[in-house]
Amino acid sequence: MTTQPAQATAHPARRKVIAGLMFAQIMIGLSNGITLSMGSLLAASMAGVAWGGSAATLTTIGAALWAVPLAKMVTRYDRRTSLSTGMLLGSLGAVLAVIGAQFGLFPVVLLAFVFLGAMSAVNLQARFVATDVSGEVTRGRDLSLVVWATTIGAIIGPNLFTPSARFSAMVGLEQHAGAYVLCLIGQLIAIGVWVFTLPKGLKPGAIEAPDNTPATLTPMARRAITSVAVAHFSMVGIMSMTAVHMQGHGASLTIIGFTISLHVAGMYALSPLFGILTDRVGRGVTIGTGFAMLATSALLLVIWPEPQWSVIASLVLLGLGWNSALVGSSAMLNDATPTHHRAYAQGRSDLTMNLAGATGGLLGGIIVGATGMQYLAALVLIVVLVQSFLTRPKNTYL
């Protein structure tokens, strides 16, 4: 494997950039946390349980659609332009969701989910911005800090289900619409933060002159991409139908929100720990740890699909496993890609990841609607075990 040397020294504006990314991630976490699971409830209320997975499915399809154009925008312009453009598209999605919910226009709600996918694409791209300004020895840690910052808003978001419903009633909106008003506010704040904290012209490879070789993916880069894709398939598939599954077994919105909050905490809260593990022990070990937790999460739902304690424990492990695989895979992808080709590789990674997530959400709605959560969990377990076998590490660091 041949790659260019990693950036050894940090960018002069590293602290300011990392701080700005972390604050913006709080806003994105809040926006995502309140709307993703609310979207499944909105879709199910408008078109039936089988459509409950459409929110996560179309959001991840949207994230996949926007990933490559936004990555190309990084190369042509810079990170600030790409992130802000993506978030403006997400803001349009929030507006469309309010309109669709308020007037009972289900096709408009489905279109809103696609545009909200741009916010998810930006959320994923932000972790790579940290690597643009980091030195070699802190790359995993800085990336993980940006991922971790999402925790704060993402935990608060699902617990705003009930307050957002009360807000909707107070101002005369449909029950689910208030969540998207809060989402829009968070998105606009994030754009303002990026404008003031991200230097103009910031992009990967800005320090080095690119050569004329075509952008390609090394075997190690492909391993990183497939690993994070499987993790995202597993997470979106199960998480997208959890609210509908729990509601079908009598859980209140408060309990559902609490469960999703714990899941989201698992997705982000321990990112710094996984970042340290990635830098000190190895990318492959971190990915393998994540896959072990994903498999355990699915196994719990196969054996005990109905008890609330099992669903909660499974969702926590699901978030932790996704987090560990994401941090390890992202660092591995950067290691395996020349600096001036990283935007290309990152765009392809997010595209593949979100297509896999969309597949998980689509299958989740179909399988849970036709059979039950335990059958979806069984599929996830098989996929995770197969991927673990096919990509078992030969190098303990990578």
Please give the full DSSP string across 134-178, using - where no structure is assigned.
--GGGHHHHHHHHHHHHHHHHHHGGGGHHHHHHHHHHHT--TTHH
- The predicted structure's pLDDT at residue 394: 53
- pLDDT tens series, the chain, 398 aa: 344 444 556 677 778 888 899 999 889 888 887 787 688 788 888 887 667 767 877 887 888 889 889 988 988 888 899 999 999 999 999 999 999 989 989 999 999 999 999 998 898 888 788 878 776 666 777 878 888 887 777 777 777 777 888 888 888 888 888 889 989 999 999 999 999 999 888 877 654 445 556 667 788 888 899 999 999 999 988 887 777 777 676 666 777 777 877 887 788 778 888 888 888 888 888 999 999 999 999 999 999 887 788 888 999 999 999 999 998 888 888 888 877 777 788 888 888 988 888 788 778 878 887 888 889 999 999 999 998 887 765 544 44
Structure confidence at residue 88 (pLDDT): 95
Residue 105's pLDDT is: 93
State residue 9's pLDDT score.
66
For the chain, list the strands marked E by DSSP.
Answer: none
Cα Rg for the chain, rounded, in angstroms?
A: 20
Place of tokens 């705003």: 160
CATH of 14-204+217-390, one of 3.40.50.720, 3.50.30.30, 1.20.1250.20, 1.10.630.10: 1.20.1250.20
- DSSP string across 284-343: HHHHHHHHHHHHHHHHHHHH-SS-HHHHHHHHHHHHHHHHHHHHHHHHHHHHTS-GGGHH
How is residue 356 written in tokens?
């896999």
Half-sphere exposure at residue 7, Cβ-oriented, CA atoms within 13 angstroms: 24
Classify the C-alpha dihedral 328-235-177-90 as positive or negative.
positive
Tokens of 57: 């499915």
Token reading at 155: 């935990």
Question: Which pLDDT value is given to residue 6?
Answer: 47
Place of tokens 């660091």: 397
pLDDT given for residue 8 in this prediction: 53
- 103-111 long-range contacts (CB < 8 A, ≥24 apart) are 104/46, 104/174, 106/43, 106/46, 106/47, 109/42, 109/43, 109/46, 110/43, 110/54, 110/58
pTM: 0.73
Please report the pLDDT score of residue 341 as a whole number.
77
Asked whether the beta carbons of 118 and 89 are under 8 A apart, the reply is yes
Closest CA to 264 of 64, 96, 28: 28
Instruction: Check residue 173 and give its pLDDT.
Output: 84
